[in-house]
Structure 1
Amino acid sequence: MLPIPGAAGRAPLASLLSYVRPHARGLLGGAALMFLGGLANLAQPMVVKSLIDALTGGTPYREPMLLLVALLLLSVVVGVWGMYLVELTAESVVLTARRRLVARLLRLRVAVVDGAEPGDLLSRATGDTTQLRAAATSNVVDLVAGVLQIAGAVVLMGRLDAVLLAVVLVVLLMLAAVTLALVPRIRSAGEEAQEAVGGMGAVLERTLGAFRTVKANGAEERQAAAVHAAARQAWRRGRQAARWVSLAGIATGLAVQVAFIVVLGVGGARVAAGGLAVSSLVAFLLYLFYLGGPVTQLVGGVTGLQAGLAAVRRIDGIAELAAEDLDRPAHAPAAGIPAPVTVAFRDVSLRHRPGGPAILEHVELRLPATGLTAVVGPSGAGKTTLLALIERFYDPTSGQVEIDGRDVRDWPLADLRARIGYVEQDAPVLSGTLRDNVTMGSASAPEPWLVEVLEQTRLVPLLRRLPDGLDTAVGHHGTTLSGGERQRIAIARALLRRPGLLLLDEPTSQLDAMNERALGEIVAAVARTTTVVMVAHRLSTVTRADRIVVLDAGRVRAVGTHADLLDGCELYRGLAATQLLTGAAAQAPRPGAQAPRQSADIATI
């Protein structure tokens, strides 16, 4: 699971307030109304005292009675409106937090996301931002309002009787000491609980991501046990957090009850001794009951704020991770079809971590503009990584990758990737319509060009079969499509961008022979005007290439044509020997050479 980076940036409270600041007007308006309702409640015991004095003294009581009713209505109306404004602000705060977080997530470096658990990232974008909702609004309001209302009640209680006030203050100070002692434990338990929930999400995401594999292997019970173990861990952490929060709540209730009993005893004695009027004792007891609300608000605000600060730490942890610089100004795209680009690797080495194994080592490679370059080699040779360095998914540990003679690190990323079309090995399809997927990177592509690309990639029969054509929903991960259809959609998506450089990572792996031949014709046509680099594992694709790069253990072993490499590269000859060479690709066996074995693919590539 993704660790929370150290708190090198702002303090969590300052970060929390940064989410509130854009919505301060709504929050202050709601808080002001709630505070006004609190003042109306605060005045009621004094009005009750006047009412009692009027009743016992035989003076008119209509005026204090009407004032008491008016204060009750005022406290209810403005309190409801204040709470409504605070809740509206809370939703806006969550929206702001989620927008910031998602924008940051999509800017993260590929290497960072490769080392993260998607379920944990989802938990931060959903569960943690929901925790932020209360902390940034109602908890803050409760904290401030609680302090102000307690201060107001204390002042008015002091006017009624200083001795009874001293009793109440002693109890409140004891409660404050207990609460402050519990705050660090509540915060720590909250962080651990949210981390555990993120871990459970990660386990569940892994299970659902391989749902068919789980079912095919009869592993439902085993995976359910893994999810249950993660859920139990979240339950244990949640219980720890609940224990400390409950202790704070119990302490609050106990403090109010103790204060009430002591005040009743001491106040009763003072009334009997003639040192305190009955109406003053009743008003004081009403204030004591009233204090229960603000004290509970204050303690609830403090404990809720701890959970919110834990969520802020997890959210801000994303901001401290390495991200791509997408803010550099990009140049306006040139009119017409982009020119083909040259590609150069100059002594490029790559390690994913210091001291780790070399993924690529001292790669020297020059690819001219236009033409098809095929990259072959054993599994783990670094073929896909070669393409990833061109896209700047990773930066080399040493050396440099150049596009048109310029280091890719000097290109604004938007400019660089606008020149490149990229087809991944897995050919991912997102939930949505077929049009959404094909036009993902080219939303403004002209309709005639879209139609032409669909025809080139042989997707027109699929469109005719679908009930709504391009506007048909394709399901989660394109589950309504075959593997070959998903691959052709990915190729269409790349071609629609009119790239100057087309990167293809095993684009024919899920195509049948007919569609593979058709794709080969498309690639050959594109290569006449575009630089094409293709990781290939089928000999029929390799033999068409203008040049073939043989990779092994992260190093370039040879570069040449199919015929050249058969004669001069033993590794390539061994790879090619796993294929049935027919037609124009057939080569006469050399004297003493073993006849090639028949196979559909270069099995080791």
Structure 2
Amino acid sequence: MSHPDAAADTGDSQVRLRRQLRAWAKAETKTLRLTGWLGLAEGLCIAAFAWGLSHMVSDLFGHPETLSALLPALLVTVGALAVRAGIGLINQKLSLKAARSIIRHIRLDIMGKALAGRIDSAQHQSRLNALFEDSEALEGYYARFSQSELQARVLPLGLLALMAVVSPVSAGILLLTLLPFVALMAILGMTSADESKRQLEALSRLSNLFVDRIKALPLILSFEAGPRQVRSVGHAARDVAERTLRVLKVAFVTSAVLEFFSALSVALIAIYCGFYLLGELPFPSPEILTFPAAFFVLALAPEVYAPMRRLAAAYHDRQTAMAATQRLIALDILPETTPAAPLISAPEIIYQDVICGFADDPDFRIGPVSFTARPGQVIALRGPTGSGKTTLLRLLLGYGHKISGDILIKGESAGDISASIAWVSQNPPILSGTLADNLTLANRAATKADIAQAITDFHLEGLVTTRDKALLHDLNERGSGLSGGERRKLGLARAALKEAPILLLDEPTADLDSAAEDDLIRLLPALFKGRTVILSSHSPKLCALADLVVDIT
């Protein structure tokens, strides 16, 4: 038996997740509201179809000598079907477009926070790796579930009210079948939520494990550890399969419950209407039921359950989205501090006896490091891999574990100066979307002309489609198809568009061959102009561009 407080915490968590999902959808509120109204308009088409069908059948039996009497009812029936199909098609397109727009903005927001240093991507790289899987899981919620939920809340009651006008007894029969159905669906929904959460966690573990093993493939092969790693990935894959089967099992039970009560309600109404019209009811009926009215309620009965059938089909999307939302908001976003006013010109940066390390490893220390970067100068931090060059750079971004010393900007302790920093990491993050989306991550106000200029300056023409010189080649989040040099150039172009007076580069030429390194280095002097630059590298060619080289040991 669960503790009441635990249940309350779960309820509060669900409310918080729903609020977050609504907050993400705020930019597409009008579109989603329109899709909701279009979904409700289907109810009118359903009623018109049932009316037309019932009168068409009634007229067919009542006036077999003339087919012209069938024409009005036939036109209403066919017209209702056509309009309903058109509404459904438009609704699907609008819903999917809104869902993709919401996902895109979520990814832009989180990636922007990562680029601004508000997500400790070094500590939570596995979570950032899952960013795209988790955000992709939201598509079904916005494209299908949200509209299905509104229809399931409104349409059954509206159709029941319409049935009650024609045949209160039939409406009462249908209402009695709805009560146990709703109770069973609530129980199955809670079970589905737990299973969906476990499935998403297992899928994320498999994804991170696979990416990690691919990165470490040379090491695995050199130590002949392949069979063991294959077994490890296999166990994770089987775990995903088992949890997926559990989710499917709940989905099958849900469908069975839905179909049982739907069939039961139609059967009971058919029996009642049939015996009434035959005059064989074993009890007196409080209503007068004609053949067209009986056919009308019988045609409407399956449609009362249809919105709930669609909701049940989309319910897994809702549970998956809730689990994904919980993981997305669990990304450790560092507390926001009051940002300093953006710097207009290249500042002087002073490291005074800075000693830093890692919060989870108190015995490891870097420094003391001291140097002065005068306005417009280029400082290179040189040292072997693991010496702490990246950690020293990240201190300027506002995170990292500084033990002692101070960093001064224009003679004052550095606060939140992220708005004044352009940051280029060793592996510039790629967003699933267009080239322009990726270039403007740090400056959403960049114009098409600015983007085109950056593409020209950093020789990214090969990534531009011929149909649109403003550029918009689709990329995926893994940067598939990009060479190492192209990926680094994209990061540099992104930094150039920010026009920040401080530029930080973390090993910009690492892992590039000599030709690619030379090609990249030729682009840097123009990027450095008018900025105070601190870069980390152990490349002699790159360090040759620096005004001062600081050795980190």
Give the TM-score, by structure 2 length. 0.70
Shift of 1:97: 1.4
Superposition RMSD in Å: 5.6
- Counterparts of 2:295 and 2:454 in 1: how far apart (Å)? 81
Q: State the secondary structure of the residue aligned to 1:357.
A: strand
The 5 Å alignment of 1:305-316 reads 305=315, 307-315=317-325
- Counterparts of 2:252 and 2:480 in 1: how far apart (Å)? 47
Describe the shift of the 1:350–1:448 C-alpha distance in structure 2 as closer, same or farther (beyond 3 A): same
The residue number in structure 1 matching 2:87 is 82
Contact 2:58-2:292 at 8 Å conserved across structures: no
Post-superposition CA distance 1:166-197 (Å, at most 9, x none): 54443332222222222211233233333333
Contact 2:54-2:292 at 8 Å conserved across structures: no
Contact 1:190-1:307 at 8 Å conserved across structures: no
Shift of 1:351: 3.8
Shift of 1:236: 2.2
Q: In the alignment, residue 344 of structure 1 is paired with which amino acid?
A: Y
Contact 1:252-1:296 at 8 Å conserved across structures: no
Q: Report percent identity of matched pairs.
A: 17
The residue number in structure 1 matching 2:254 is 248
- Counterparts of 1:499 and 1:311 in 2: how far apart (Å)? 37
Matched, 1:293 2:300: no
Shift of 1:388: 1.5
Shift of 1:386: 0.6
Shift of 1:281: 7.2
Q: In the alignment, residue 421 of structure 2 is paired with which amino acid?
A: R
- Counterparts of 1:74 and 1:514 in 2: how far apart (Å)? 67
The residue number in structure 1 matching 2:180 is 174
Residue segments in structure 1 that go unaligned for 5+ positions in a row: 553-605
Describe the shift of the 1:405–1:496 C-alpha distance in structure 2 as closer, same or farther (beyond 3 A): same
Q: In the alignment, residue 207 of structure 2 is paired with which amino acid?
A: G
- Counterparts of 2:215 and 2:317 in 1: how far apart (Å)? 30
- Counterparts of 1:230 and 1:379 in 2: how far apart (Å)? 32
- Counterparts of 1:259 and 1:492 in 2: how far apart (Å)? 64
Query: Which residue of 247, 254, 258 maps to 2:264?
Result: 258
Post-superposition CA distance 1:414-461 (Å, at most 9, x none): 2x215xxx665568999999xx99x9999978999999x98xxxx9xx
The residue number in structure 2 matching 1:578 is none
How many residues are paired up?
A: 516
Matched, 1:133 2:121: no
The 5 Å alignment of 1:345-494 reads 345=352, 349=356, 351-352=358-359, 356-357=361-362, 360=365, 363=368, 365-369=370-374, 375=381, 380-392=386-398, 394=400, 396=402, 400-411=406-417, 413-414=418-419, 416-418=420-422, 424=425
- Counterparts of 2:389 and 2:338 in 1: how far apart (Å)? 30
The 5 Å alignment of 1:90-169 reads 90-109=95-114, 110=117, 111-114=119-122, 115-117=124-126, 118-158=128-168, 162=169, 166-169=172-175
Contact 1:387-1:503 at 8 Å conserved across structures: yes
The residue number in structure 2 matching 1:27 is 35
- Counterparts of 1:493 and 1:295 in 2: how far apart (Å)? 52
Q: In the alignment, residue 328 of structure 2 is paired with which amino acid?
A: I
Shift of 1:67: 4.1
The residue number in structure 2 matching 1:196 is 202
Contact 1:430-1:478 at 8 Å conserved across structures: no
Give the TM-score, by structure 1 length. 0.65
The residue number in structure 1 matching 2:77 is 72
Residue segments in structure 2 that go unaligned for 5+ positions in a row: 1-9
- Counterparts of 2:109 and 2:429 in 1: how far apart (Å)? 22
Shift of 1:243: 1.9
The 5 Å alignment of 1:559-570 reads none
Q: In the alignment, residue 144 of structure 1 is paired with which amino acid?
A: V
- Counterparts of 2:429 and 2:421 in 1: how far apart (Å)? 18
The residue number in structure 1 matching 2:350 is 343
Matched, 1:40 2:48: yes
Q: State the secondary structure of the residue aligned to 2:112.
A: coil
Describe the shift of the 1:327–1:308 C-alpha distance in structure 2 as closer, same or farther (beyond 3 A): farther
Q: In the alignment, residue 301 of structure 1 is paired with which amino acid?
A: L
Shift of 1:404: 1.8
Describe the shift of the 1:87–1:532 C-alpha distance in structure 2 as closer, same or farther (beyond 3 A): closer
Shift of 1:232: 3.2
Q: State the secondary structure of the residue aligned to 1:392.
A: coil
Shift of 1:90: 0.6
- Counterparts of 2:521 and 2:73 in 1: how far apart (Å)? 87
Greater relative contact order (Cα < 8 A, sep 6+): 2
Contact 1:345-1:401 at 8 Å conserved across structures: yes
Q: In the alignment, residue 417 of structure 1 is paired with which amino acid?
A: I
The residue number in structure 2 matching 1:589 is none
The residue number in structure 2 matching 1:318 is 328
Post-superposition CA distance 1:470-494 (Å, at most 9, x none): x9x9x986978688x9889988997
Q: In the alignment, residue 342 of structure 1 is paired with which amino acid?
A: I
- Counterparts of 1:268 and 1:516 in 2: how far apart (Å)? 84
User: Which range moved further: 520-529 or 311-320?
Assistant: 520-529
Shift of 1:311: 0.4
- Counterparts of 2:318 and 2:112 in 1: how far apart (Å)? 25
The residue number in structure 1 matching 2:280 is 272
Greater Cα radius of gyration, structure 1 or 2: 1
Contact 2:350-2:409 at 8 Å conserved across structures: yes
Contact 1:183-1:303 at 8 Å conserved across structures: no
- Counterparts of 1:450 and 1:149 in 2: how far apart (Å)? 57
Shift of 1:37: 0.4
The residue number in structure 1 matching 2:240 is 234
Describe the shift of the 1:538–1:108 C-alpha distance in structure 2 as closer, same or farther (beyond 3 A): closer
Shift of 1:234: 2.8
Q: State the secondary structure of the residue aligned to 1:171.
A: helix
Shift of 1:139: 4.3
The residue number in structure 2 matching 1:561 is none
Q: State the secondary structure of the residue aligned to 2:73.
A: helix
Contact 2:160-2:304 at 8 Å conserved across structures: yes
Contact 2:266-2:302 at 8 Å conserved across structures: no
Post-superposition CA distance 1:100-128 (Å, at most 9, x none): 21122213345533314244211123233
Contact 1:33-1:81 at 8 Å conserved across structures: no
Q: In the alignment, residue 349 of structure 2 is paired with which amino acid?
A: T
Q: In the alignment, residue 43 of structure 2 is paired with which amino acid?
A: F
User: Which range moved further: 363-372 or 534-543?
Assistant: 534-543
Post-superposition CA distance 1:253-298 (Å, at most 9, x none): 2223334555555666652269579974785466345322321422
- Counterparts of 2:521 and 2:258 in 1: how far apart (Å)? 75
Contact 1:348-1:363 at 8 Å conserved across structures: yes
Q: State the secondary structure of the residue aligned to 1:272.
A: coil
